[in-house]
Structure formats: structure tokens, C-alpha cells
Amino acid sequence: MLHLLSLKALRERLQKREVSSVELTKHFIDRIAKFSDLNAFISVDEEGALASAEDADKSLNKNQSGNLTGIPIAHKDIFCTKRLRTTCGSKMLAGFTAPYDATVVQRLANAGCVTIGKTNMDEFAMGSSNETSFFGNVKNPWQTSRVPGGSSGGSAASVAARLIPAATGTDTGGSIRQPAAFCGLTGLKPSYGRVSRYGMIAFASSLDQGGPLTRSAEDSAIMFNAMGGFDPKDSTSIERPIPSVNELLDLDLRGLRLGLPTEFFDSSVDTAVLGSVREALQILEKRGAQLVDVSLPNSAAGIPCYYVIAPAEASSNLSRFDGVRFGHRSEQADSLLDLYECSRAEGFGEEVKRRILIGTYVLSAGYYDAYYLKAQKIRRVISDDFTKAFEKCDVIVGPTTPSTAFKIGEKTQDPVSMYLNDIFTNTVNLAGLPSLSMPVGLDGSGLPIGMQLIGRFMDETSLIGTAHQFQLETDWHERCPEDFA
Ligand code: GLN
């Protein structure tokens, strides 16, 4: 039963001392072991978790506790941790333990969270299905023949299966929102600069952003409030405070203008997905929101633009893995150049190599202007589309993904069809805007459907608030996959 409780309900139980943090931590550790077939975790830190649970219990006994004191969480294995290895889902970092904690890890620990472990993910966060992980694929708890989405697939699967009450993720082109949609969760990608990237292994630095994967908008507000905010260690961090949990949740929908981009409601989207999104919009309309038509005319350029910029930045970021300073080092090499080449050939998987090749190509002399520079210009045009749309509305809405969770193996042979999963999400990263996916229904075979809300820069409040108002009236966010209740 404990695993079905929200963060707020857990806090109440803990503060009334009806349950101890140690009991709670053991409960979730047992569940992680029981459902290890999902392959949602890469590392579990039983000893460390129990030690911090004991500390949390001491604070709770002294009535010195906050929103999250004593509550177990898990981190995507892209966030550096001192106690546990940080693999980023790669053989390259399979043996790497960071000398410091990421800011997100530290902030959540300061808020009293108990870190139980690190979740599985696509290698270096490159993927949409969690099939590129060196540690094997993750299964979707709703149907274990399906993918949980990616790249934060381990975090999403574990929150959906109630193996952990909340987890962190990162989103470069959709990796919080798409797995949230596939697993029936609420996933928030904050505005670029809201959540510190310090200690978050870089994929594409101008797009990467950390955020929470939770069951409800309320839980999302609690997590976002604790993990976000200015960090002098991240030069792109924004010097503005995160609203309080109540400020994030209290929203009057009356008069809120929801913009429906024509480009998001086209025939390429599954009818079940469109149907549930439209039903959700009706509910919001009944509560006073106003629906208006908008257009994001350059949406179709999003995928090509993203697949120039993200690999370009990745090829540069990943050049640090050379087998010398840290990470995998080949035993085969007999010269320095050989060492670089063999270490990288052995340490990186196929998708990561594909991105490095694309990225190096688009940045090379002679192609830079034709590809990289052009993509930067298109990025601006895409961003301008959003600015124009926000003259007519306050929040943009649409499906998070064109379909529900697909079968394991279904798209692995066709990278482009895999990339197209992010068609509605990655333009948001290119523009640096906040965005949230929330569950709005199930399709004919019982798989979750997600709806995406996109906000103005820094306006997470309208997204979390809208989702919260919706969730006060519906119970999609409380649905649990059958075998995990
Ligand atoms: N699926 C996209 C990619 O593979 C986005 C991944 C992400 O957001 N980390 O690049």
C-alpha cells in the first residue's frame, strides 16, 4: 500500500510517525528487487539509503523536516553521485564513480530525500526507447513487451511500477515527456536554465535540462521546487527563484487561453491519442479555459534541425572520453592514437557512434555553413514561431507523442522512425521553453496516452497549475499498471 501514496501523503505519514523512513526505504528496496525483471535500475544503494533514512528519521523525530524528508527517490544515471557509480548507460562509464554530487542530487539530498539508486537510461541519453543502454533495455510496466520510452526510461518505468515515488530525468529532445507519456506519468521539462546542469553528464548542452518524473502535478511541483533554482556552478543557470509549491499549483483556469497548433493535430497522430487529448481539452474548457487555434508553421523542420544541433554538440561533449583521464581504456592499444581509437570504439555503442559521426560531419570545414549554421538559423525561426503563438495564447497544447508505447525491437532498425517520436517535443528544447506531459487516457490496448503543455519561458506555473486542475477532476494519474498495484 505504501507504494501507492503520493509525496504529500507520504510526508504526512512520516511526519505523524505512522511510518519511519527506514521502513519506507526497505519497502521500496524490496519492490525494486521483486520487479528487477523490468531492468529499471542500474545501481541500488541499500546501505547508503538506509543510513540516510536513519538520519531522516532523526530529523523527523525532532520535527525538523521539510516536504521531502525521508522520502526515497531515484536518479537517472546521468547525474553524478559520489557514493554510486555514474554510467550514463554506457560501457564507457561502466566503472566510473564521480568525485562529487550533481547539484540536483545535492539539493534533493539537502531537502531530505533518500537516494535509493540510479535508473537505467539510453546510452548518453540518446534514444527514445531505452534500447540503447549498455545495461540492457527497460520494459514498460503497462505491457512488458513494450518500450517505456527514453531516454529516461528507467526513471519512468520505476515510478510507473511504483518501485519509487518519484525520480529525476533529463530532457534534450523529449526524454522526460515521451517516457512520461508512454508510462502514464507527469513529466516536467523546465525552462532552459531553471535546473542546474552541474554534474549532469552533457549530451547537447544548449538543449539538456533536468526535471522530475512523478505521478501527479502536485508531486512534480514538490520535486521541481526542491531541485531547481539558481546555481553559480552552472553558467547558464537563471538567477530567479522557483515559485513555492502552492504558487505552482494554484491556478485559476478561467480565461486561460490554450493554443492548439494545427500542426500537432494532423493525421499522422493515432486516433486514440487525438481522441483522449480532445477529451482532456473539453474538461479544461469546462473549468474555464479558452481554446484558440494557433500555428507553429516550422514544426516540420524540428527533427532535421535537432538532428544537426544535438549531434554537433554531442560530438564535442563526448570528445572528453578518450580513454586517458577517465572512463573505459582499451587494453589493445600500442600507441596514443590507437588508445583513443580503440577506447572509443570499444566504449561507445552504435547509436552514440552514429551521433558522433553526424556531429563531426556537420561541424567540419566545408559543411559547417551548409548544415550547422543553417540549423542555427532554423532554430531561431522555430523559436520565433512560439513567440508569435504566445501572442494569442498562454499555454500551447497537443499530444506528447504521435503514438502510444511501441514494441521492443520495433524501431531499432530504422533510426529515422525512432527519431520521429520526438516530433512534438524537440522543438520545445530548441526554443528553451518549459513543457509538461500528463496522462489523459488509455488506448484500446490499455496503454497510456500523454498530453503535452508548453509554456512561455519561465512559466512552469501555468503548466503545473493546469495539470493540477485537470488532475483534481480526473484519475488518469492514479491508474497503476495491473501487476504493480
Ligand atoms: N530521443 C531524442 C534523442 O535521441 C531525445 C533524447 C533526450 O531528450 N535525451 O536525441
| Tens-place pLDDT, residues 31-83 | 999 999 999 999 999 999 999 999 999 999 999 888 999 999 999 999 999 99
Q: What is the pLDDT of residue 286?
A: 96
Q: What is the pLDDT of residue 163?
A: 98
Q: Does residue 159 sit in the same domain as residue 251? A: yes
Residue 26, in any domain of the structure: yes
Known active-site residue 76: yes
Q: What is the pLDDT of residue 448?
A: 98
124 within 8 A of 152, measured Cβ to Cβ: no
Q: Does residue 325 sit in the same domain as residue 442? A: no
Domain residues for the domain of 457 are 14-258+392-484
Pocket of ligand 1 from Cβ distances under 6 Å: 125-128, 151, 171-175, 203, 310, 422
| Tens-place pLDDT, residues 259-294 | 999 999 988 899 999 999 999 999 999 999 999 999
pLDDT exceeds 90 at position 255: yes
| In 37-185, beta strands by DSSP E | 41-44, 72-76, 114-119, 167-171
Residue 161, in any domain of the structure: yes
Q: Does residue 237 sit in the same domain as residue 337? A: no
pLDDT exceeds 90 at position 441: yes
Residue 295, in any domain of the structure: no
Mean pLDDT for the stretch of residues 398-405: 97
Ligand 1 centroid – CA 204 distance (Å)? 9
Continuous segment of H or E residues that includes residue 375 = helix 374-392
Q: What is the pLDDT of residue 10?
A: 98
Known active-site residue 151: yes
Q: What is the CATH number of the domain that holds 36?
A: 3.90.1300.10
Q: Does residue 420 sit in the same domain as residue 468? A: yes
63 within 8 A of 14, measured Cβ to Cβ: no
Residue 274, in any domain of the structure: no
Q: What is the pLDDT of residue 66?
A: 87
Final residue before a domain boundary, out of 343, 374, 405? 374
| Tens-place pLDDT, residues 123-164 | 999 999 999 999 999 999 999 999 999 999 999 999 999 999
Mean pLDDT for the stretch of residues 343-359: 98
Report percent pLDDT > 90 for the chain: 97
Known active-site residue 175: yes
**Pocket test residue of 77, 126, 197, 306 for ligand 1, highest count of atoms within 8 A of CB:** 126
Residue 265, in any domain of the structure: no
CA distance 381 to 120: 35
Ligand 1 centroid – CA 128 distance (Å)? 6
Q: What is the pLDDT of residue 260?
A: 98
The catalytic residue among 21, 175, 299, 435 is 175
CA distance 218 to 33: 28
54 within 8 A of 148, measured Cβ to Cβ: no
Q: What is the pLDDT of residue 267?
A: 86
Ligand 1 centroid – CA 207 distance (Å)? 10
Q: What is the pLDDT of residue 174?
A: 98
Q: Does residue 366 sit in the same domain as residue 400? A: no
Q: Does residue 443 sit in the same domain as residue 355? A: no
